[in-house]
Structure 1
Amino acid sequence: MRFRKPMILVFACIAFVMYLSMRLYSTEEVTTSVISTQHASNIMQVYLKDQSNTLVPLSIPVSEEESEEDKLKLMFAYLSGKQTLEGFYPLFQKECFLNDVKMEDGVARLYFDASLKNYKKEDELRVLEAITWGATQFSSVEKVELYLNEQRMKEMPLGQTPIPEILNRDIGINHFETATDSLHDSFSLTVFSTKKIGSREYLVPKSRRCRLDKQDVASQVAVILEDISVSSGLSSKLHTDRIEIKNMNMKDGLLKVELNDHILASDASVKQNAYDTFVLSLASIPMIERVEIRVGKQIIHPTKEESTSVSLVEMTYNEVEF
């Protein structure tokens, strides 16, 4: 009996050490998001914010039979918190109703009532970006017009953020500048990086202001390579892997890029995150429709598909199910 208490103390210490080991050295697996072209017609993107107020495009399954108007109304249901997903938050505090949608000649006209004001003033820029990027994901939509109580909006209702006359993806996304009159008047280039949210890595877009010629594809691609990582919350495989362009040419919407072998892992396979962030970033350049990536004379692709190039229109990523 005299050894009973010391033995209990020993076992208690062992249990405590094991508990600390599990907490401090967790081996939780992180799921990495990849781009796909398998189910593009069955997918719709919804832009929700994470804890740091960064917009993340989430691809959700939808019926092919749904019209684009119905998909847009569904998008606002998700923006209002219709379903929840770990690590993400709705942009509207109460439900925002999209009362009507009119699509004609490449313009999506979205009609709202006072429920459009159901967001926090500090989220206003993110709300405008989420609506614009969500509506322009459809190939038939080139620009967006917003209407509040039948009147076309020239500024957002709470913080008076100006709405450009031509509202499209040129406004950028996840700008870190504050909302000012000149924020969206200049050329924006969008670059993708990876960000860990919960137990997953997501591909996240962030736009930066550029004074480049929009027709100068080579300069835009160079900027993408050198300006991937913009904050401690976003990580760049291209930046850390020292991936460089050796040659590049573009013809009829097809961009052919030859990279150094730093895009390849030690076993000669393609580094998935590096490839994905690069290709998605190239998709932000309007003139590019397809991309072909080479190392030397070899065309590379992470999934080793037979296709020699990737169609940027058909790409999906960050697929989730609520």
Structure 2
Amino acid sequence: MTHYRVLRKAALAGVLALPILTAGCGLFSEQASQQIDPPQNAEQTSSTGAANATGGAATAAQNDTTAGQSADAGGEAVAEGQTQMTVYLRDQNQLLAPVTVLATLGAEESAGKRALELMVQGGANESELPSGFEAVLPAGTAVNSVEVIADQKKAVVDFSKAFGNYAATDERRIVEAVTWTLTSLPGIEKVELSMDGVKLGEMPVDGLPLDEALTRAVGINLETAEGVDYSQSTPVTLYFSSVTPNDEPYYVPVTRLINRTDNKAKAAIQQLIAGPSDLKSLTPVATPDIQVQDVKKEKDYVTIDLKDEAYQDGQAMPAQMLKAVVLALAENTGYAKVKITVNGSASVIDTENNSYSEPVDKPLYVNAIKS
């Protein structure tokens, strides 16, 4: 095994083992060592317009939406028999981004299987993908089955042999895309992969380890802040902005490794404010003069107080920024609800007239790109 392959294995194993912030010893402390799991979104519904992540954003509705006139990701009616789902695709900057799509499921077809089929290069459904986005699973891959083990919150996926026909440089991207797509579905927090009925202990081309079920602890679009030793780091997942070839904005998640901290939630938003490291591909969602005053947990939600010296009570805050804050806090704490105050004031609205005076839900769907 080459030195390069050893390092890649070590890197993935290191990310999988990084600690999560938990309650008890501190929602925002580094005293626990559990894996990072996704927010519990199985029962999330949108209670306010603020939970709809726009900029290519989506109205939060249940994943099994099939009723006519239900709101879809773009605020339009979902046709009868159609289901909203999130798939992770490669954008024009070679980054993975969630894209909300509408699909019609057969009587025996599961949402997970359909979502993965949409992610096959050159597949029958390729025309359904928006401009500027590409599927990431190797051409010819068949999704033999997706079995959900409800009591383990785990999806077991069996791919055909063609799943192993990819370049080594795409291996991690494939793992991330499959994991994040399936864990966006209600009731799924873990993913196990197999090929032609044989469980994979590692990825078939470059050997990324699959010894344990995959969770969102694998990260996405992984990057390391300058001067940080990944073995002594904390991962934070942030949401920045990009635009399609047709100038539609959309969110891109980035997992950044930073120096260990005793307040991960606060550090995550500070990193969000600091902005993306790649300004050619991504755009900041917040201005650098915003500061994080405090982040604390309540019974079933997280409250963040932002400081903005120029803010006047009742003034509309940038919608893109506040929605990115909700996404980042939900992803980094496991809490699906977020309340935002500014300079201690709870009378916060955004430029799309969404209110944050009460906790808002993390949206189930983001990036409903229409073209």
TM range (shorter): 0.7 to 0.9
How far off is 1:225 after superposition? 3.7
Q: Please, which of 342, 354, 360 is the counterpart of residue 310 of structure 1?
A: 360
Q: Please, which of 273, 294, 298 is the counterpart of residue 341 of structure 2?
A: 294
Deviations 1:17-74 (A, max 9, x none): xxxxxxxxxxxxxxx715444435342111110232101110112459978x621221
Would you say the 8 A contact 1:263–1:271 is kept in 2?
A: no
Would you say the 8 A contact 1:263–1:270 is kept in 2?
A: no
**Counterparts of 1:274 and 1:249, CA distance in 2:** 19
Does residue 1:80 correspond to 2:128, yes or no? no
Does residue 1:58 correspond to 2:103, yes or no? no
Would you say the 8 A contact 1:92–1:118 is kept in 2?
A: no
**Counterparts of 2:59 and 2:86, CA distance in 1:** 14
Corresponding position of 2:175: 128
Corresponding position of 1:29: none
How far off is 1:255 after superposition? 1.0
Q: How does the TM-score come out when normalised to structure 1?
A: 0.77
How far off is 1:265 after superposition? 9.5
Does residue 1:39 correspond to 2:65, yes or no? no
Look up the equivalent residue of 2:137 and give its one-letter code: F
Corresponding position of 2:8: none
Corresponding position of 2:81: none
**Counterparts of 2:157 and 2:103, CA distance in 1:** 20
**Counterparts of 2:312 and 2:318, CA distance in 1:** 6
Alpha carbons of structure 1 residues 49 and 66: separation in structure 2 relative to 1, 3 Å: farther
Q: Please, which of 92, 101, 126 is the counterpart of residue 146 of structure 2?
A: 101
**Counterparts of 1:66 and 1:283, CA distance in 2:** 33
Alpha carbons of structure 1 residues 87 and 101: separation in structure 2 relative to 1, 3 Å: same
Look up the equivalent residue of 1:297 and give its one-letter code: S
Q: Secondary structure of 2:110's match?
A: helix
**Counterparts of 1:271 and 1:308, CA distance in 2:** 17
Would you say the 8 A contact 1:97–1:112 is kept in 2?
A: yes
CA RMSD of aligned residues (A): 3.1
Alpha carbons of structure 1 residues 135 and 185: separation in structure 2 relative to 1, 3 Å: farther
Alpha carbons of structure 1 residues 63 and 122: separation in structure 2 relative to 1, 3 Å: same
How far off is 1:129 after superposition? 0.4
Alpha carbons of structure 1 residues 212 and 47: separation in structure 2 relative to 1, 3 Å: same
Any unmatched runs of 5+ in structure 1?
1-31
Q: Please say which of residues 86-95 and 151-160 is displaced more in the overlay.
A: 86-95
Look up the equivalent residue of 1:131 and give its one-letter code: V
Q: Secondary structure of 2:171's match?
A: helix
Q: Secondary structure of 1:231's match?
A: coil
Q: Please say which of residues 203-212 and 37-46 is displaced more in the overlay.
A: 37-46
Any unmatched runs of 5+ in structure 2?
1-53, 66-83
Q: Please, which of 278, 281, 295 is the counterpart of residue 325 of structure 2?
A: 278
Higher relative contact order (CA 8 A, sep 6+): 2
**Counterparts of 1:127 and 1:275, CA distance in 2:** 30
Q: Please, which of 256, 260, 264 is the counterpart of residue 208 of structure 1?
A: 256
How far off is 1:310 after superposition? 0.9
How far off is 1:174 after superposition? 0.7
Does residue 1:143 correspond to 2:186, yes or no? no
Would you say the 8 A contact 1:253–1:288 is kept in 2?
A: yes
How far off is 1:83 after superposition? 2.3
**Counterparts of 2:61 and 2:273, CA distance in 1:** 32
Does residue 1:163 correspond to 2:210, yes or no? yes
Q: Please say which of residues 287-296 and 185-194 is displaced more in the overlay.
A: 185-194
**Counterparts of 1:137 and 1:211, CA distance in 2:** 28
**Counterparts of 1:266 and 1:50, CA distance in 2:** 38
When Rg is computed on C-alpha atoms for both structures, the one with the higher figure is: 1
How far off is 1:124 after superposition? 1.1
Would you say the 8 A contact 1:34–1:276 is kept in 2?
A: no
**Counterparts of 1:262 and 1:83, CA distance in 2:** 48
How far off is 1:237 after superposition? 2.5
Corresponding position of 2:369: 320
How far off is 1:308 after superposition? 1.2
Q: Secondary structure of 1:79's match?
A: coil
Alignment of 1:169-180 (within 5 A): 169-176=216-223
**Counterparts of 2:200 and 2:368, CA distance in 1:** 33
How far off is 1:226 after superposition? 4.7
Alpha carbons of structure 1 residues 186 and 111: separation in structure 2 relative to 1, 3 Å: farther
**Counterparts of 1:83 and 1:203, CA distance in 2:** 21
More helix by share: 1
Alpha carbons of structure 1 residues 164 and 37: separation in structure 2 relative to 1, 3 Å: farther
Deviations 1:164-183 (A, max 9, x none): 51310000001247xxxx98
